[in-house]
A = this chain, B = another copy of it.
Amino acid sequence: MQGTQPPPEQTAASYPRTERTVPTRSPDRASYHRELVHSILDEGYVCHLGFVRDGAPVVLPTLYARVGECLYVHGSTGSRPLRAVGQAAPGLPVCLTVTHVDGLVLARSAFHHSVNYRSVVVHGPARDVTDPEEKRRALDALVDHVVPGRAADTRPANKKELAATAVIRLDLNEVSAKLRTGGVNDEPEDLGLPHWAGVVPVRKGYGTPIADPDLAPGTGLPQYLREL
């Protein structure tokens, strides 16, 4: 039943604010803009997934992919969190967070040190994906989310592999972004202090791909990896 629920439709430019998506601190740094949220989610591929086990929080890093208004996470059917989702009838309450660090903000005062970042926090029930077609689409999306174009250049999962893989879905309903951009915000009386102040950009990138030693003869580096 759970796998047959239709995905939420994109109906408004912003996600609705809820009690838990409006921060008590720096609400000016929060955004509910759908396009911004999507762009932050699409730039990353590792999220931190939180859930409650025996009354205590657990936070694990895992891959994710966005398809429209759904996020997908996968794992072994034997893993504890994915088993817990399968056993939670109305879905397991989770919090999925994605963070990009863009710069270190070094102020003259220790207090005004900060980090430029963009993050998205999604709350909601995670549900087991049981529909075979949706599961296949989600698994392709998980591969393509990390390396666009890769899913079509692989041997797809066979029956046994599909059976060993659990996929869970978290719909984008209760969502917020939070971000800090720009320069240093020192106190006016600190501006004359002899401490260097400014922003150190944080960069992410890829090194030269290291081919598997057993590559089939004539298998060159594909175009989608040259463009990564």
Which residues of A pack against B, CB within 8 Å?
Answer: 20, 23-25, 46, 48-53, 55-61, 63, 75-76, 78-80, 93-97, 99, 101, 104, 106-111, 113, 115, 117, 119, 121, 123, 139-140, 143, 146-147, 150-151, 153-158, 161, 165, 183-184, 186, 190-216, 218-222, 225, 228
With known contacts A24-B79, A80-B24, A106-B150, A101–B46 Cβ distance under 8 A: yes
Q: Are A216 and B192 in contact (CB under 8 A)?
A: yes
The reply to whether B110 and A154 form a contact with Cβ atoms under 8 Å apart is yes
Q: Across the interface, do A153 and B196 meet the contact criterion of CB distance under 8 Å?
A: yes
Chain B positions within 8 Å of A61 at CB level: 48, 97, 99, 117, 119
Smallest beta-carbon distance A174→chain B, Å: 10
State how many angstroms separate the Cβ of A141 from the closest Cβ of chain B: 11
* Stoichiometry, copies per complex: 2
Say yes or no: A48 contacts B59, CB within 8 Å: yes
For residue A200, which residues in chain B have a CB less than 8 angstroms away from its CB? Answer: 147, 206-207, 209-210, 225, 228
12 A-B pairs with C-beta separation under 8 A: A48-B50, A50-B50, A50-B58, A57-B58, A57-B93, A57-B94, A110-B139, A197-B212, A198-B211, A200-B228, A202-B204, A203-B205
Q: A101-B46, A104-B146, A219-B195 are in contact. Are A95 and B25 (CB under 8 A)?
A: no
A93 and B56: CB pair below 8 A? yes
Contact of A206 among B79, B202, B211 (CB under 8 A): B202
- Closest chain B residue, CB of each to CB of A58: B95
A113: chain B residues within 8 A (beta carbon): 143, 146, 150, 154
Q: Are B25 and A108 in contact (CB under 8 A)?
A: no
